[in-house]
Amino acid sequence: MVKIILRDREFEVRAGMTLRDALRKCGILPEAVIATRQGEMITEDEILKDGEVVKLIAVISGG
Amino acid sequence: MRCRKCGGKAVINMPQHRLALCKEHYLAWLPEQTERFIKKYRMFTRAEKVLVAVSGGKDSLSLWDILHRLGYQADGLYIALGIDGGVNYSAESQRLTEKFAAERGLTLHVVDVRAETGKTIPEWAEATWRGREKPCAVCGLVKRHEMNRIARDLGYDVLATGHNLDDEAAVLFGNTLAWAGEYLLRQGPVLEERGGLARKVKPLCRFYEREMAAYALLRGIEYIYEECPFSAGATSLYYKELLNRLENDRPGTKLAFYLNFLEARRAGLFAERSEVQQALHPCPGCGQPTSAPGLCSYCRMIEKGRDSQV
Ligand SMILES: [Zn+2]
Ligand SMILES: [Zn+2]
């Protein structure tokens, strides 16, 4: 499984799918986040592997 | 995905530009584009003094960083609003802003709203406008007044804010839903000097919010990640989400919405109102230009809130 973290929320998705598909599964708009893995930014075509943790940074602010 | 410039591993993909870049080339590309927009919209030159309104957020700190990298004379202005919201919001954003300035040897002016006016933003909101509601209207009014005052008193030629394309598109969306002609006429990358107010510019207005967050992250800029506690449920956030859903299905929609608006206005879609209707006069309270009869809206708010107890 792959763990996806956004603020205080956590999601789990199957390994082997792309980040784009994983975000869709979690109901997260790619435009609203930046994805990092081990501190490095990754693009949406990246394939997620078993045991990985993807940290999402919310990019939209009010005002 | 590969970087278009060097073929290395891309860290960001921008479908609206059909462009993916590695870290190094992204950090070079964004300031280059900013420089292009500063010139294209004739925002300012290297001979002019720029005051950057900094909030401690990703956009304004990145803007300051970019202008500094590009060699512009850019000083910062931080307005301490006195918002706590249980997360120490104002104090923490001030700390990050001061740290940013100190590390780079930049000049930062700090204005404390309570010291200037006797009340914090939440206290003014409580004292004047239907107390329990959000203080965003009061906050906007006070920030605008203080930015104008400092720019004028300290002799800055131009005031720069960190509004990104998502901010601009959300405002445009709201103004279009309301067909707010007066606002549509004034919205844009540059608001020319009027009645002695400094020119206002938005050098980041063509970058997606996501692009600005990526820049701050890749540059290692420490910004306030917490939201202003009053922004929860804000209409602007709702509009941003709607626009991002469109963007998701049709990449480039946000950018086209904004750029086509600018082009339509340039081509004369919105007519200026007559001279008489838009005449400005100096406010008898603070001297800043206003179109309202008598006191400006800032001074009316102060008047209304001064006597009430908090
Ligand atoms: Zn590259
Ligand atoms: Zn006034």
Please name each of the domains of chain A with its CATH number. Answer: 2-58 (3.10.20.90)
Question: Which ipTM did the prediction report?
Answer: 0.96
User: CB count, 10 Å around CB of B52?
Assistant: 27
Residue A17 distance to chain B (closest CA, Å)? 15
Q: Do A45 and B58 touch (CB under 8 A)?
A: no
Q: Do A57 and B12 touch (CB under 8 A)?
A: no
- The type of residue at B238 is Y
pTM: 0.93
Task: Give me the total of CB pairs closer than 8 Å, taking one residue from chain A and one from chain B.
Answer: 73
Which residue is it, tokens 């956009």? B59
Q: Which of B213, B240, B248 sits opposite A57 (nearest CB)?
A: B213
All residues of chain B having their beta carbon less than 8 Å from the beta carbon of residue A63 are 136, 167, 228, 231, 234, 236
pLDDT tens-place string over residues A5-58: 999 999 999 999 999 999 999 999 999 999 999 999 999 999 999 999 999 999
In 3D space, the residue among A29, A59, A61 whose CA is nearest the CA of residue A44 turns out to be A29
pLDDT tens-place string over residues B152-162: 999 999 999 99
Query: Among all ligands shown, which has an atom nearest to the Cα of B26?
Result: 1
Q: Do B244 and A40 touch (CB under 8 A)?
A: no
Q: Which of B13, B208, B230 sits opposite A43 (nearest CB)?
A: B13
Distance CA B52, CA B158 (A): 9
pLDDT tens-place string over residues B220-246: 999 998 888 888 778 899 999 999 999
Give the rounded percent of residues in chain B with a pLDDT score beyond 70.
96
Q: Which of A31, A41, A63 sits opposite B228 (nearest CB)?
A: A63
List, in order, residues 6 or more apart from B284 with CB less than 8 Å away.
B294, B295, B299
Residue A12 distance to chain B (closest CA, Å)? 22
Is residue B278 within 8 A of residue B182, CB to CB? The reply is no
pLDDT tens-place string over residues B246-272: 999 999 999 999 999 999 999 988 877
